[in-house]
Amino acid sequence: LLRSSLLIFFLYFFLFFLDLMGSSFKVLGGCTAGAMFEGLSNPIAGLMVGILATVLVQSSSTSTSIVVSLVGADAMSVPVAIPVIIGANIGTSVTNTLVAFGQFNNDDEFERAFSGATVHDMFNFLSVFTLLPIELIFHPLQLITDAMKPDDVADGDKWEGPIKQWVAPLAKRVINANKDVIKNVASATATCEEIYADSDQKGLIKCGDVYNPFDGTESNVCPLFYKDNASKADDMASGAVCLFIAILGLCFCLYGLVKVLQSMVLASSVGLIKRATNINPYFAIVVGCGVTILVQSSSITTSVLTPLVGLNIVKVEQMFPLTLGANIGTTATALMASMVSDKSEAVQIALCHLFFNVAGILVWFPIPFMRRVPINAAKLLGNLTRTYKGFPVIYILFCFVFVPAVLLGVSSLFDQGGAFVIIGSLCIIVLAVIVLRLLYFFKRQDGYSKITEWLAERQAMVEFNQSLRATIQSHEERLKLLELGAMGANTEAAKSK
């Protein structure tokens, strides 16, 4: 009973701090993420913006809601909006990759946790590489969803999952991000500076109606970090403090979750738990979908599973179908929300998101050897964490920040016209040469082994420096003892004389 109570306690506050972290990112990255959506006109830029904006706000639902509002306002075309939605699919997988760092101190657990986290990334990347070119050439998602969307839908309230109804009220009493600011900046209705200059408009942190799950009523609540007539700097400072609190809380709750789960596993049959998770993979997709609809976030579903993979309770092979279900579940939530919107384009974009993930599953899951590709890629990344512990940081910065930012910069050159098109073309040629050189390096020059050796050398250097500091400190302490001993001997000799 005590373990179960602790498990519920840590799980609830783990979800609470995840929600708090998401709201903090929305405040900190709100103006930047909103400005990213301005003036998009090509699909590659849309894909990169979808990734970067979702990494900034740590919520694919926020990114997709911005896209829906832009399409509904005719500020973004559907062909450009589809890659943004696909990019949001990639960006949202950062959260569980960060959660894997909770098991950083144990090499075995960290390797397994990172593999479990990145299997989500690998599926999303592979789906983009295979399906996005088809969409850009033949437009199947656009054509199918355009035929399926309703002519008109009635206005209504946004649907919220039952788990969200219990977690969000507490989070909104701490900080409540104003998504309208992000949407206004994205649609070029107003800049952040104009919003904060107008005392009648709310900033990035707002008061709002908060649902009470105990009596089913709503009341207007100003969060703890809300300040009347706050400046942009004030809200940014509040967001930064909240983010710091959320990260500390996540680490504490994740540590508690891991310890409680470990004690529960040790107290029961490990084999029984493993058999319980060894369900039919297609049924696992349904389970992952259902759980994600309940918690209204694929990040939460995969983030809760990641520590279990680290503890070897769930295998990477078992997490993969649950992750695929989570990808479908998060689109079902958006679809239900769009059904009660007054914009038929909202339904079309939600359907595009759904069909993209379903198509990705059909390509990468039913055939066993295709299924092994993302799983083996994730395990390969996990192995590299054992070779060099700093690798996950390099991976996150490279895949989710550096590459999207470079490709966004290059693709935006073509929108400038004139000489910028020539510069953009030269950049593409350079990037193509770099990619071909890397492929040759890995295929013909045993690149993986060389990179592994380099990472191992880096790790050995780090460990040597750490041991050297410890050795020097130990020798200094022994030297002090010898000096004290020598001084004592001299004193005794002087007394004897």
State how beta strands 218-221 and 208-211 pair. antiparallel
The span from the CA of 116 to the CA of 306, in Å, is 6
- What are the two backbone dihedrals, phi and then psi, of residue 221, each rounded to the nearest 5 degrees? -130, 135
How far are the Cα atoms of 15, 136, 359, 431 from residue 130, in angstroms, in the given order?
33, 11, 10, 20
220 DSSP β-pair partners: 209
Q: Please, is 147 exposed, middle or buried when counting C-beta atoms within 10 Å of its C-beta (0-12, 13-18, 19+)? A: exposed
Q: How confident is the prediction along the chain (497 residues), in pLDDT tens digits per residue? A: 677 788 788 878 877 876 787 677 777 766 665 566 655 667 788 888 888 877 876 666 667 766 765 665 556 777 888 888 888 888 888 877 888 887 888 888 888 999 998 998 899 999 998 998 898 888 898 888 888 876 654 444 444 555 566 777 888 888 888 877 777 776 667 777 777 777 666 777 888 777 777 777 778 888 888 888 778 888 888 888 888 888 788 778 767 776 776 566 545 544 544 554 567 888 888 888 887 776 666 777 787 788 888 888 888 888 899 889 888 887 775 676 565 455 677 678 778 888 999 999 999 999 999 999 999 999 999 888 887 888 888 898 888 888 888 888 888 788 777 788 888 889 889 999 998 998 888 888 888 788 888 877 887 787 777 777 777 777 777 777 777 777 766 666 666 66
135: nearest Cα among 355, 384, 438, 364: 355
